[in-house]
Amino acid sequence: MSTEQPALFDPMPEAAVPGYSPEDFPFFHGPRSMADAGLIDPSWVATLLPLSSTLQQIARDLSARSLGGERILPDPALMLRALQLPVDQVKVLIIGQDPYPTPGHAIGLSFATGAQVRPLPRSLGNIYRELHGDTGIPPAEHGDLGSWQDQGVMLLNQVFSVSAGLPGSHQKIGWTAISTAVIDRLNRSTPPVVALLWGNQAQKLVGAMSNMVILRSAHPSPLSASRGFFGSRPFSTINHELEALGRDRVRWRLPSA
């Protein structure tokens, strides 16, 4: 996800803010239940099972926050959506920070939005600008990156929830234990995963990626894109690395919404 501030001048939707009980968060019921419901791939159950109590505590914390008036994003069923990609199909890992804090934007995949979101978040717009400069692919009109995920690109945030309008607000509630476990599992993959680390926050994870192919640059947010993100050519470089590993290239062109 980006470090950009939400568009605070945009009015919040007038729909009532839901107050969730812990049981409203699917991960409260454990990873096996989530896999049975199709919310994560079964291949992630073994990774998450030792963290079941952590997931329950996160659900309790989020419930208390929502009942206290915070609007929690994204929808609980989407928070672990990145784990719908099976472990053995992950060939590229793109690390974000936390979900977009603008209501309607966060969908559980780092940097992505729903196909209907307009205008696009500025970080995503910069990603498309670099994609065009790197590969010649015209910028998409939508933010649905599902076709990347379908090809083995895991779009993983380090933190899986946020309060509306408050970027970084859930960094200390336990999510990093979950993302760390996911990264540790991917670090043991064969052939290795290609990890794309945008910005200082993502690059702090390098020590947990000893067996991955690591690419890094500045973050695509408006505050830092001109300081090393533009011109970094991540998309062609990823495909070069995948070819060297004997893996299929990613088709970066997004389908029409």
Would you please indicate which residues are annotated as catalytic (active-site) residues?
98
Angstrom distances, CA of residue 114 to CA of 57, 79, 145, 226, 243:
28, 14, 9, 26, 30
Helix ranges, 49-151 (H): 52-67, 122-135, 146-150
CA distance linking residue 250 with residue 81, whole number of Å: 20
Alpha helices in 187-252 (DSSP H): 200-203, 234-244
CB half-sphere exposure, 169, CA atoms < 13 A: 21
Q: What are phi and psi of 188, to 5 degrees?
A: -100, 10
Looking only at the bridges linking them, the beta strands covering 162-163 and 72-73 are: antiparallel
- Helices of type H across 106-174: 122-135, 146-150
Torsion angle (degrees, nearest 10) of CA 160, 193, 49, 21 = 10
H/E segment holding residue 35: helix 31-36
Structure tokens given for 93: 């890992």
